[in-house]
């Protein structure tokens, strides 16, 4: 197969992402979980159509989306806690 290494890398990436999502499932909202599921299905569809390079690109975008879901959205709360801000003293 011409792009077997890329295909294997994408499947390995999907396994890593599924483990990450399971590990942090309490921090992911339902709409984010649905979006992740939709993107994973799209990646699997691309692999089924034998487009591993496009699937690899989509996997990178999915990884960035998950990082945003897990880490970027909690930064304002972390910043507020560091400053000691609460709803009473805004």
User: Which residues does the chain have with pLDDT short of 50?
Assistant: 85, 87, 89-90
What is the per-residue pLDDT for 71? 81
What is the per-residue pLDDT for 33? 93
What is the per-residue pLDDT for 43? 97
Q: Is the dihedral of CA 4, 7, 13, 14 positive or negative?
A: negative
What is the per-residue pLDDT for 69? 87
Assign 3-class secondary structure to 11-22: HHHHHHHHHHHH
What is the per-residue pLDDT for 83? 54
What is the per-residue pLDDT for 89? 45
* All structural domains of the chain with their residue ranges: 4-83
């Amino acid at each position: 197969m011409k792009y077997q290494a890329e295909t294997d890398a994408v499947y390995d990436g999907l396994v890593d992402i599924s483990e990450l999502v399971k590990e942090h499932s309490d921090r992911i909202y339902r709409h984010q979980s649905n979006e992740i599921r939709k993107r994973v299905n799209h990646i699997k569809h691309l692999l089924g159509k034998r487009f591993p390079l496009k699937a690899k690109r989509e996997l990178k975008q999915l990884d960035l989306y998950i990082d945003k879901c897990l880490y970027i959205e909690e930064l304002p709360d972390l910043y507020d806690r560091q400053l000691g801000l609460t709803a009473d003293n805004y």
